[in-house]
Copies of this chain bind each other. A is one copy, B any other.
Amino acid sequence: MKTVYNARHAAHAATREFFRGRLVPAFEVPARADYVLAAVQAAQLGEIVAPVDHGLAPLERVHAPAYLRFVQGAWAEWQALGGEGDAFPAVWPVRSLRSDVAPRSFAARMGLYSMDSGTPLTAGSWEAAYWGAQASLTGLDQVLGGERSAYVLTRPPGHHAGADFFGGYCFVNNAAVAAQAALDAGLQRVAILDVDYHHGNGTQAIFYERADVFYASLHGDPQTEFPFFLGHADETGAGAGLGFNANFPLPAGASNEAWFAALEAALERLQAYEPELLIVSLGVDTYGGDPISHFKLDRPEFSRLGQRLAAFGARTLFLQEGGYATEAIGHNVVAVLQGFEPRP
């Protein structure tokens, strides 16, 4: 399996983030991808290729252009205002407040285009996120070009980013960009399986009223786990998308048996959908040693996940999402990918 590696991920390097209202050392750090790259190389997983630039247009197919322009220019605005350190939002347009007017105030637009105070906007956030999307599109090219699978190694992750907001460490929704590009390339039915510990609220929301992308996710119950405000089992799609969204929330601390039972249920739904492409939002914060998550998967389970996805039988694009036990991420990711495609 080829790996598309976004070497520019390191441009996004935050030192601190807000976690439950406190400033703490950042969890989503460049070393995450470095460890994965080292593990991919050590395992001789396959060729490592660079992303090809597909431009901004594929991103604009799922994100509001005004939002993308904001993220692209935000650091320069922040610097022009004399901002010190990373930029954080502080006020949000919740119920009864308007989102249809973009204020001139930079602080206000930071809030307009975000959902939390835990996602530092840094000097290189846009560069890293832009090239992450390009890496995802390049991985898609591989798969549409005949490869059975590809793995996209990038950060920051993408699945929390909505059509017009960042959050949960995510700025550009790589899974959504790739799914839409696959449709634009002629596919009719794309499935996204999100196995990150956290519900991919952005991905779900982007395709919620559409039947051409089926989003299925197993994740920590939003009653207690981020992103809190989406990911319940009763969210089954709306309008034309009714029946094409499936959530399998599991309580924090759920057993591996429960996790694999949910995986089977999700894959059953996706199998019935007969997708032409499977996109896997591959977060490994389901790992027992993850510092911010509460499932119990370990190497054998990640390997089993890979095997099970191989048995699903679809062309498969793996996109890196979360995973915060920095040193273990590489081994856990490789376990999934080698489970999917054992070395000959």
State the A residues within 8 Å of B (CB).
18-23, 87-99, 101, 103-105, 107-108, 110-112, 114-118, 162-165, 167, 201, 205, 208, 222-230, 232
Known: A98-B230, A230-B96. A91 touches B103 (CB 8 A): no
Q: Are B205 and A103 in contact (CB under 8 A)?
A: no
Interface centre among A114, A167, A229 (most CB of B within 10 A): A229
Other-chain contact of A87, B21, B111, B112 (Cβ < 8 Å): B21
Q: Is the interface of A mostly helix, strand, loop or mixed?
A: loop
* Copies of this protein chain in the complex: 2
A-B contact pairs, 20 of them (CB 8 A): A18-B90, A21-B88, A21-B89, A21-B90, A21-B107, A90-B117, A91-B228, A92-B116, A94-B94, A95-B162, A95-B165, A97-B115, A98-B230, A101-B223, A101-B232, A103-B223, A103-B228, A104-B223, A108-B229, A111-B116
Q: Are A105 and B229 in contact (CB under 8 A)?
A: no
If A21-B89, A96-B208, A98-B230 are given as contacts, then 15 extra A-B residue pairs at C-beta distance below 8 Å, sorted by A number, are: A22-B88, A90-B118, A91-B227, A93-B115, A93-B229, A94-B115, A97-B205, A97-B229, A103-B222, A103-B224, A103-B228, A103-B229, A104-B223, A108-B228, A111-B229
Q: Are B98 and A115 in contact (CB under 8 A)?
A: no
Residues of B close to A224: CB separation below 8 A: 103-105, 108
Nearest CB on B from A27, distance (A): 13
Other-chain contact of A96, B23, B111, B114, B205 (Cβ < 8 Å): B205
Interface centre among A95, A97, A103, A115 (most CB of B within 10 A): A97
Cα distance A232–B99 in the bound complex, in angstroms = 12
Cα distance A327–B239 in the bound complex, in angstroms = 57
Residues of B close to A162: CB separation below 8 A: 94-96
Nearest CB on B from A231, distance (A): 9
Nearest CB on B from A321, distance (A): 18
Known: A95-B164, A98-B230, A225-B105. A117 touches B21 (CB 8 A): yes
Residues of B close to A163: CB separation below 8 A: 96
Cα distance A19–B94 in the bound complex, in angstroms = 18
Cα distance A95–B115 in the bound complex, in angstroms = 9
Residues of B close to A101: CB separation below 8 A: 222-223, 229, 232
Cα distance A31–B103 in the bound complex, in angstroms = 33
Nearest CB on B from A266, distance (A): 21
